[in-house]
């Protein structure tokens, strides 16, 4: 089993921080819990990148785009040969984007 490095796209990182800031207005504990859970799940992809389903919103998905959900946030990532790139963090109540 090959360990792959998890890399956060700048846009995805900023999306996560924006959501953290929003939740923090109501509860610091909840905000930290959500952010930690998403980061921990992303980190776990280093050894198990294929554990989550293919991203159903990716047009013509070649099998490299996957997604997982945590606390009503959908996290999209791309599996490359040596990296996992976290592409997007989006609340599930928002209209999904096809890309």
- By residue count, the chain amounts to 99
Domain boundaries, the chain: 5-91
* Secondary structure element (H or E) that encloses residue 23, with its range: helix 10-24
pTM of the predicted protein model = 0.91
pLDDT digits (tens, 9 = 90+) for 30-41: 999 999 999 999
Q: What would the pLDDT profile of 27-72 be if each residue is shown by its tens digit?
A: 999 999 999 999 999 999 999 999 999 999 999 999 999 999 999 9
Report the alpha-carbon distance of residue 21 to residue 67 in Å, rounded: 23
What number of other Cβ atoms are within 10 A of residue 66's Cβ? 21
Right CATH number for 5-91 from 3.10.110.10, 3.10.580.10, 3.30.2310.20, 3.30.56.10?
3.30.2310.20
């Amino acid at each position: 089993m090959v360990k792959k490095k998890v890399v956060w796209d700048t846009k995805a990182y900023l999306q996560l921080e924006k959501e953290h800031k929003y939740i923090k207005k109501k509860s610091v504990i909840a905000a930290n819990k959500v952010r930690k859970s998403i980061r921990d799940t992303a980190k776990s992809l280093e050894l198990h990148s294929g554990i989550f389903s293919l991203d159903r919103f990716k047009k013509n998905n070649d099998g490299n785009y996957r997604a997982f959900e945590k606390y009503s946030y959908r996290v999209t990532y791309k599996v490359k040969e040596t990296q996992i790139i976290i592409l997007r963090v989006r609340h599930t109540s928002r209209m999904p984007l096809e890309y």
